Amino acid sequence: MKKIEKSLEEWREQLSDEQFRVCRMAGTERPFTGEYQAPKFSGVFHCVCCGQALFDAQHQFDAGCGWPSYWQAISPTALTENVDNSLGMQRVEVVCSGCEAHLGHVFPDGPQPTGLRYCINSVALQLEPAVVD
Protein backbone atom coordinates (compact mmCIF):
# COMPACT_ATOMS: atom_id res chain seq x y z
CA MET A 1 0.00 0.00 0.00
CA LYS A 2 1.29 3.43 -0.93
CA LYS A 3 1.73 5.80 2.02
CA ILE A 4 -1.09 8.30 2.30
CA GLU A 5 0.08 11.83 2.98
CA LYS A 6 -2.26 14.70 3.74
CA SER A 7 -1.87 18.05 5.43
CA LEU A 8 -3.20 18.49 8.96
CA GLU A 9 -5.94 20.67 7.48
CA GLU A 10 -7.01 17.83 5.16
CA TRP A 11 -7.06 15.35 8.06
CA ARG A 12 -9.05 17.81 10.18
CA GLU A 13 -11.71 18.03 7.44
CA GLN A 14 -11.93 14.22 7.15
CA LEU A 15 -11.97 13.26 10.84
CA SER A 16 -14.09 14.09 13.87
CA ASP A 17 -12.46 16.32 16.49
CA GLU A 18 -11.70 13.30 18.71
CA GLN A 19 -10.34 11.20 15.82
CA PHE A 20 -8.09 14.09 14.80
CA ARG A 21 -6.85 14.64 18.37
CA VAL A 22 -5.98 10.96 18.84
CA CYS A 23 -4.84 9.90 15.36
CA ARG A 24 -3.04 12.99 14.12
CA MET A 25 -1.96 14.62 17.41
CA ALA A 26 -1.06 11.39 19.31
CA GLY A 27 -3.78 11.83 21.92
CA THR A 28 -5.48 9.15 24.00
CA GLU A 29 -9.15 8.53 24.63
CA ARG A 30 -10.28 8.07 28.23
CA PRO A 31 -10.19 4.43 29.42
CA PHE A 32 -13.42 2.40 29.36
CA THR A 33 -15.13 4.92 27.04
CA GLY A 34 -14.31 3.54 23.59
CA GLU A 35 -16.82 1.75 21.39
CA TYR A 36 -14.60 -1.31 20.89
CA GLN A 37 -13.01 -1.75 24.34
CA ALA A 38 -14.92 -4.99 25.13
CA PRO A 39 -13.97 -8.02 22.98
CA LYS A 40 -17.41 -8.91 21.62
CA PHE A 41 -16.96 -8.28 17.90
CA SER A 42 -16.28 -10.34 14.80
CA GLY A 43 -14.68 -8.95 11.71
CA VAL A 44 -11.68 -6.80 10.90
CA PHE A 45 -10.70 -3.48 12.46
CA HIS A 46 -9.40 -0.89 9.97
CA CYS A 47 -7.61 2.43 10.36
CA VAL A 48 -10.22 5.20 10.59
CA CYS A 49 -7.93 7.51 8.61
CA CYS A 50 -6.95 5.42 5.58
CA GLY A 51 -8.95 2.18 5.78
CA GLN A 52 -5.98 -0.18 6.05
CA ALA A 53 -6.76 -3.47 7.83
CA LEU A 54 -5.06 -3.50 11.24
CA PHE A 55 -6.50 -6.16 13.59
CA ASP A 56 -8.69 -9.24 13.34
CA ALA A 57 -11.35 -9.30 16.06
CA GLN A 58 -10.35 -12.93 16.74
CA HIS A 59 -7.11 -11.58 18.24
CA GLN A 60 -8.84 -9.22 20.68
CA PHE A 61 -8.86 -10.01 24.41
CA ASP A 62 -9.98 -8.32 27.62
CA ALA A 63 -6.85 -6.87 29.19
CA GLY A 64 -8.85 -4.94 31.78
CA CYS A 65 -7.02 -1.74 30.83
CA GLY A 66 -10.00 0.13 29.34
CA TRP A 67 -8.85 0.12 25.71
CA PRO A 68 -9.25 -2.48 22.97
CA SER A 69 -6.37 -4.95 23.25
CA TYR A 70 -5.04 -7.39 20.66
CA TRP A 71 -2.28 -9.99 20.87
CA GLN A 72 -1.20 -9.50 17.24
CA ALA A 73 -1.72 -7.27 14.23
CA ILE A 74 -3.51 -8.60 11.16
CA SER A 75 -0.18 -8.70 9.27
CA PRO A 76 3.48 -7.97 10.05
CA THR A 77 3.37 -4.89 7.79
CA ALA A 78 0.14 -3.29 9.06
CA LEU A 79 1.82 -1.34 11.88
CA THR A 80 4.97 0.69 12.39
CA GLU A 81 6.55 0.89 15.85
CA ASN A 82 8.21 4.04 17.22
CA VAL A 83 9.99 4.70 20.51
CA ASP A 84 7.85 7.04 22.64
CA ASN A 85 9.62 8.83 25.51
CA SER A 86 6.67 11.06 26.45
CA LEU A 87 5.15 11.11 29.94
CA GLY A 88 8.53 10.42 31.56
CA MET A 89 8.67 6.78 30.49
CA GLN A 90 9.75 4.75 27.49
CA ARG A 91 6.98 3.01 25.56
CA VAL A 92 6.51 1.67 22.04
CA GLU A 93 3.99 3.64 20.00
CA VAL A 94 2.16 1.88 17.17
CA VAL A 95 1.03 3.78 14.10
CA CYS A 96 -0.74 2.71 10.92
CA SER A 97 1.89 1.89 8.29
CA GLY A 98 -0.42 3.28 5.60
CA CYS A 99 -0.90 6.82 6.91
CA GLU A 100 1.07 7.06 10.18
CA ALA A 101 -2.06 7.57 12.29
CA HIS A 102 -1.33 7.20 15.99
CA LEU A 103 -3.18 4.09 17.20
CA GLY A 104 -1.83 3.42 20.69
CA HIS A 105 1.03 1.43 22.21
CA VAL A 106 2.28 -2.14 22.41
CA PHE A 107 3.41 -3.75 25.67
CA PRO A 108 5.17 -7.07 26.41
CA ASP A 109 2.52 -8.26 28.92
CA GLY A 110 -0.06 -9.88 26.64
CA PRO A 111 -1.22 -13.48 26.31
CA GLN A 112 0.45 -16.24 24.36
CA PRO A 113 1.23 -17.02 21.61
CA THR A 114 2.87 -13.59 21.15
CA GLY A 115 3.05 -12.22 24.70
CA LEU A 116 2.10 -8.81 23.29
CA ARG A 117 -0.70 -6.41 24.17
CA TYR A 118 -1.53 -3.88 21.50
CA CYS A 119 -3.44 -1.25 23.50
CA ILE A 120 -5.37 0.71 20.86
CA ASN A 121 -7.71 3.71 20.93
CA SER A 122 -11.22 2.76 19.74
CA VAL A 123 -11.58 6.09 17.98
CA ALA A 124 -8.67 5.14 15.68
CA LEU A 125 -10.53 2.03 14.48
CA GLN A 126 -13.44 1.24 12.22
CA LEU A 127 -14.95 -2.25 12.32
CA GLU A 128 -15.84 -4.10 9.15
CA PRO A 129 -18.16 -6.77 10.57
CA ALA A 130 -17.74 -10.37 9.49
CA VAL A 131 -20.27 -11.51 6.91
CA VAL A 132 -22.56 -14.15 8.37
CA ASP A 133 -23.92 -16.66 5.86
Number of domains comprising the chain: 1
Statement: the pTM of the whole predicted model exceeds 0.95: no
pLDDT along the chain (133 residues), means of 10: 87 97 96 92 96 97 95 96 85 96 96 96 95 70
Does a structural domain hold residue 2?
no
CA distance 13 to 50: 14
DSSP state of 87: G
- pLDDT at position 13 is 96
- pLDDT at position 88 is 81
- pLDDT at position 92 is 95
Range(s) of the domain holding residue 91: 8-128
Give catalytic residue positions. Answer: 119
CATH code of the domain covering residue 81: 2.170.150.20
Phi, psi dihedrals of residue 19, rounded to the nearest 5°: -60, -45
Does a structural domain hold residue 1?
no
Does a structural domain hold residue 24?
yes
Residue pLDDT, tens place only, 26-51 = 999 999 999 999 888 899 999 999 99
Does a structural domain hold residue 133?
no
